[in-house]
């Protein structure tokens, strides 16, 4: 059994509402993350118990189910009250490292914040989130985790009847920028302070005794988020819906909706069907992250300093550090991806030149970096690498020119080339959950009750840095680069 130790419920009752998951008729377990369960102190549970607990049919002793209230800027527009409309927090547990984790059901029925929604999720987004979040974790990207996926045995209705499902999400906390915005919009300084103190205690205890802990809080979230977005971009990930209610205060990737990994590189890539203006496009992510942080800053203004002008000054200074922070994180990661370990602008120019070529000749993002490690030695065969780029690239000298510049720089490291190549293979994944395979995985699960693809992916993600021949069919992007992949919000 999970050993709950809940703290969010000690905050005043206007931070949340008590609500139990709605029981479902015939739950069945799709996947259970036994490894994660062990880390959370959940051993030896019977299949039936697991199914009942993570479908919301049984409430464990110690669990105090609630829905949290928050607001948020969605596509730039402020919505004063959103809240968990289809998520219910069961409570908190300590993991084996002593870290506090939230255990939350997503898709477990209506809550006081559901508005017109049914509080449910269908199988497709549940599978997507399970796979992508666990993949992110294995690529060392901070993220919420997936503990369980359960079919409810009930249909839900979107444009058609679809199988209902519930995901159990594990997070350092589910507190978002939107939780602060909710109280700021109500001019409730008292609640803002309580929330900020709670967050500092839970996530950033080291800043507690700073001269201005609330300003430090902004700085800490900024640092975490600038690293997070840099990490996303270094693996070609597009979150898709970076609204302020989908940005975690702890710096974890949260709310996997219309997200995706790019196949071929395009800095303006957008997947989400509702992102008409490219607000959350690949290359716009740092700018939007900074914009979201400015919403957090605005919410924190009254508790940072009683003099508003001074508070604004302090926050502006903090926000201005975002660009530099992001850039140094992004440069460091990208420079590492091409096998260098400098942090020079000159090295990053090399990365930028490569990205420009990848953009121009539509090269596969993941495999370009992966294959570079195979050609650190100029005597090695280039053909697989070249095949990643559009044919016109082969008739131009640009790629060769870039390769010579790159190799020259590699040589200056005075390291054994095989060591460099090995190091690159530990940084650049061979596999990512490619969109067309995720779609196939969902279709097979939905139409044929066939989870073999999902199982393959779960195995691949145990070691995404290893090229495994048996999984070759998951390695490549679809041949047709003109296929425009579209993702839909995870409802």
Binding site partner of 118, from ligand AMP, Mg ion, none, Cβ cut-off 5-8 A by kind:
ligand AMP
Smallest distance, Å, CB 255 to Mg ion?
Answer: 4
The active-site residue, picked from 84, 102, 245, 364, is: 245
* Sole binder of Mg ion in the list 129, 181, 255, 347 (CB under 5 A): 255
User: Is residue 181 part of the contact set for Mg ion (CB under 5 A)?
Assistant: no
Smallest distance, Å, CB 178 to ligand AMP?
Answer: 9
Nearer Cβ to Mg ion (255/364)? 255
Nearer Cβ to ligand AMP (45/491)? 491
Binding site partner of 364, from ligand AMP, Mg ion, none, Cβ cut-off 5-8 A by kind:
none
Nearer Cβ to Mg ion (136/427)? 136
Nearer Cβ to ligand AMP (87/215)? 87
Smallest distance, Å, CB 266 to ligand AMP?
Answer: 24
Smallest distance, Å, CB 464 to Mg ion?
Answer: 26
Nearer Cβ to Mg ion (246/285)? 246
User: Is residue 133 part of the contact set for Mg ion (CB under 5 A)?
Assistant: no
User: Is residue 364 part of the contact set for Mg ion (CB under 5 A)?
Assistant: no
Smallest distance, Å, CB 291 to ligand AMP?
Answer: 17
Q: Pattern 63-82, binding to Mg ion, x per CB under 5 A? A: --------------------
Nearer Cβ to Mg ion (173/421)? 173
Binding site partner of 1, from ligand AMP, Mg ion, none, Cβ cut-off 5-8 A by kind:
none
User: Is residue 111 part of the contact set for Mg ion (CB under 5 A)?
Assistant: no
Query: Helices 189-203 and 285-304 meet at what angle, rounded to 10?
Result: 120
| Footprint on this chain of ligand AMP (rule: CB under 6 A) | 82-86, 114, 117-120, 241, 245-246, 255, 257, 489-491
Size of the site for Mg ion (CB under 5 A): 2
Q: Which stretch binds Mg ion (CB under 5 A): 165-173, 182-190, 249-257, 276-284?
A: 249-257
Smallest distance, Å, CB 238 to ligand AMP?
Answer: 15
CA distances from 149 to 39, 66, 141, 186, 484 (A): 18, 20, 21, 37, 29
User: Is residue 246 part of the contact set for Mg ion (CB under 5 A)?
Assistant: yes
Smallest distance, Å, CB 119 to ligand AMP?
Answer: 5
Nearest to 70 by CA among 160, 161, 199, 218: 199
Binding site partner of 84, from ligand AMP, Mg ion, none, Cβ cut-off 5-8 A by kind:
ligand AMP
Q: Which stretch binds Mg ion (CB under 5 A): 102-110, 150-158, 244-252, 472-480?
A: 244-252
Nearer Cβ to Mg ion (181/255)? 255
Nearer Cβ to ligand AMP (70/365)? 70
User: Is residue 275 part of the contact set for Mg ion (CB under 5 A)?
Assistant: no
Look up 341 and say whether it is catalytic.
Answer: no
Residue nearest to Mg ion (CB): 255
Smallest distance, Å, CB 332 to ligand AMP?
Answer: 30
Q: Which residues contact 106 (CB under 8 A, 6 or more apart)?
A: 86, 87, 121, 126, 129, 166, 167, 168, 169
Q: Is 448 exposed, middle or buried (0-12, 13-18, 19+ CB in 10 A)?
A: exposed
The length of the chain in residues reads 491
Binding site for Mg ion (CB under 5 A): 246, 255
Q: Give the active site residues.
A: 245
């Amino acid at each position: 059994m999970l050993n709950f130790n809940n703290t969010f419920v000690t905050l005043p009752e206007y931070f949340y509402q008590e609500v139990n998951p709605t029981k479902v008729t015939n739950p069945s377990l799709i996947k259970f993350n036994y490894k994660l369960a062990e880390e959370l102190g959940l051993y030896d549970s019977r299949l039936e118990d697991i199914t009942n607990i993570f479908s919301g049919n049984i409430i464990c002793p110690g669990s105090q189910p609630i829905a949290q209230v928050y607001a948020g800027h969605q596509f730039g527009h402020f919505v004063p009250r959103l809240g968990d409309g289809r998520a219910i927090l069961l409570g908190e547990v300590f993991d084996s490292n002593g870290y506090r984790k939230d255990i939350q059901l997503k898709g477990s029925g209506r809550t006081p914040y559901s508005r017109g929604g049914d509080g449910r999720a269908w199988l497709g987004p549940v599978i997507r989130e399970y796979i992508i979040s666990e993949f992110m974790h294995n690529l060392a990207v901070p993220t919420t985790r997936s503990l369980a996926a359960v079919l409810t045995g009930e249909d839900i209705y979107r444009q058609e009847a679809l199988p209902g499902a519930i995901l159990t999400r594990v997070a350092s906390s589910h507190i978002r920028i939107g939780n602060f915005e909710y109280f700021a919009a109500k001019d409730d300084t008292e609640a803002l302070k309580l929330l900020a103190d709670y967050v500092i205690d839970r996530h950033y205890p080291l800043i507690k005794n700073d001269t201005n802990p609330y300003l430090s809080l902004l700085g800490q979230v900024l640092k975490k988020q600038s690293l997070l977005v840099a990490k996303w971009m270094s693996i070609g990930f597009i979150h898709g819906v970076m609204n302020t209610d989908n940005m975690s205060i702890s710096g974890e990737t949260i709310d996997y909706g219309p997200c995706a990994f790019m196949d071929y590189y395009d800095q303006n890539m957008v997947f989400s069907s509702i992102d008409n203006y490219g607000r959350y496009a690949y290359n716009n992510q740092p700018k939007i992250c900074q914009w979201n942080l400015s919403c957090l800053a605005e919410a924190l203004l009254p508790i940072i300093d009683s003099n508003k002008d001074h508070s604004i000054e302090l926050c502006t200074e903090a926000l201005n550090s975002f660009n530099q922070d992001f850039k140094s994180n992004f440069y460091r990661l990208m420079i590492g991806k091409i096998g260098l370990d400098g942090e020079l602008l000159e090295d990053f120019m090399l990365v930028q030149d490569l990205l420009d070529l990848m953009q121009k000749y539509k090269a596969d993002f993941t495999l370009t970096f992966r294959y570079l490690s195979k050609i650190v030695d100029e005597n090695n065969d280039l053909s697989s690498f070249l095949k990643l780029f559009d044919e016109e690239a082969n008739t131009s000298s640009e790629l060769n020119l870039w390769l010579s510049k790159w190799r020259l720089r590699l040589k200056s490291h005075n390291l054994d080339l095989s060591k460099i190549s090995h190091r690159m293979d530990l940084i650049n994944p061979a596999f990512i959950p490619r969109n067309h395979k995720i779609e196939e995985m969902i279709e097979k699960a939905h139409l044929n009750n066939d989870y073999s693809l999902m199982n393959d992916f779960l195995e691949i993600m145990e070691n995404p840095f290893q090229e495994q021949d048996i999984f070759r069919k998951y390695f490549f992007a679809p041949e047709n680069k003109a296929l425009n992949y579209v993702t839909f919000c995870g409802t």
